[in-house]
Amino acid sequence: MSNLLQPHEVDWYEASARERAAGLLDPKSFTEFLGPEQRAMSPHLARFNLTGAFDDGIVVGRGHLDGQEVFVAAQEGRFLGGAFGEVHGAKLVGLLRAARDGAETGVPRAVLLMLDTGGVRLQEANAGELAISEVIRAIVEVRSASVPVLALVGGRAGAFGGGGIITACCSRIVVSEHARVSVSGPEVIETNKGVEEFDSKDRALVWRVCGARTRYLTGGADRYVKGRIQDFREAAIALIPHAPPFELGTLKAEQRRLAERLQRFGDCRDALEIWRKAGLPEPERIAEIADDAFLAIQRPKGADHDAR
């Protein structure tokens, strides 16, 4: 990180998890829980000859956002791809349960998840998978207690596997250009189904299938921001008061919205086809234009919604 930049001006993609947490929150308001000095590390990596991290690749804590008390979690995509292991996942589960239990007292106002993950950490696959399921259940409990949970995605690992599912369980989703949100990664699909199904080396194709612009234009993300930490911060502040409640009406609306997407675009195999069908201007240029031009595009009907 350059010394010339203030924390919130730093590029999200380049920043570490701790820099994202500190820069997202009001200056000097971040307090970490179970910080690296406590050395809560994975006991499972040594048998795979891997070196652990003192924070197991995730930072959790609290701070202020625009003066309001919030809880935050930030995954470190540069440590084992930000993948969920036993300790890593349990830190997030503990944070969410604390948010649920604190809801009655009005603290926290929201929980912000800075996801940057390839999904389950295979060296501790069962613990990681279970942690993801526990996180999903805890998110639902937090949302049921009327506390919004926001997903912020724009790191190098994206949000894959269970991380993609967690993203779509949140009240609102913010992405920047680098974000990729999916379940099976392109390499996994290519390995299982062949290069004709998905050429994982075709970077432009990968971005059109999994990338932030496709998610935003089809309603898979609620806000598309430029890449600075400040941009994510402003989007989070703006979205918290408008988070949809977790209730039958919301999920019925989501059922309709997702069914409609299948009806309109269910036979498409590339985002270009979707953009053409949606009548977007110059569809072949959508992937390459600058953020300002992209943000000026009118989203297709239904992409802007409360059904999540």
Partner 1 sequence: MMLDEVLASLFPSGHTLERGLSGTVHGTAKVEGQGDVTVIGIAGGTPLSVDGAMLLAGHVLAAVEAGGRAPIVVLVDTSSQNMARRDELLGLNEYLAHLAKSLLLAAVHGHRTVSVLFGHAAAGAFIATALSSQSLVALPGAEPSVMDLPSISRVTKLPLENLKELAKSTPIFAPGVEPLFATGAVAETWTADQPFAPRLAALLRRPVPTSDLRDRTGLERKGRLLAQKIAERVAAEAAAHA
Could you say which residues in the range 181-210 bind partner 1, by CB under 8 A? 181-184, 188-189, 192-193, 197-198, 208-210
Q: Where are the beta strands (DSSP E) in the chain?
A: 31-33, 58-65, 68-75, 111-115, 149-153, 172-176, 223-225
Residues of span 112-151 touching partner 1 by CB under 8 A: 120, 122-134, 136-138, 140-141, 144
* Residue environment code for 142-162, b if the CB has 16+ CB neighbours within 10 A, otherwise e: bbeeebbbbbbbbbebbbbbb
Q: Cβ of residue 219: shortest distance to partner 1, in angstroms? A: 8
Could you tell me how many residues of this chain bind partner 1 (CB under 8 A)?
A: 91
**Residues in 9-28 that interact with partner 1 by CB under 8 A:** none
Choose, by CB under 8 A, the member of 30, 207, 216, 246 that binds partner 1.
246
Q: Toward partner 1, which CB reaches closer, 19 or 222?
A: 222
Q: Binding to partner 1 by residue 98, rule CB under 8 A?
A: yes
- Smallest distance from partner 1 to CB 34, Å: 5
Cis preceding linkage at 281, omega within 30: no
Indicate the burial class of 130 (C-beta count within 10 angstroms; 0-12, 13-18, 19 or more): middle
89 closest CA partner among 108, 106, 73: 73
Q: Which is nearer to partner 1, 134 or 234 (CB)?
A: 134
> Could you say which of 36, 102, 283, 302 contacts partner 1 (CB under 8 A)?
102
Shortest CB 36 distance to partner 1, Å: 14
State which of residues 24, 113, 157, 271 lies at the interface with partner 1 (CB under 8 A): 271
Q: Hey, which residues between 272 and 291 contact partner 1 (CB under 8 A)?
A: 274
Q: Which residues, including other chains, have CB under 8 Å from residue 189's CB and lie 6 or more apart?
A: 197, 198, 200
The distance of closest approach from Cβ of residue 204 to partner 1 in the complex, given in angstroms and rounded to an integer, is 14
* Cα-Cα end-to-end distance for the chain: 35
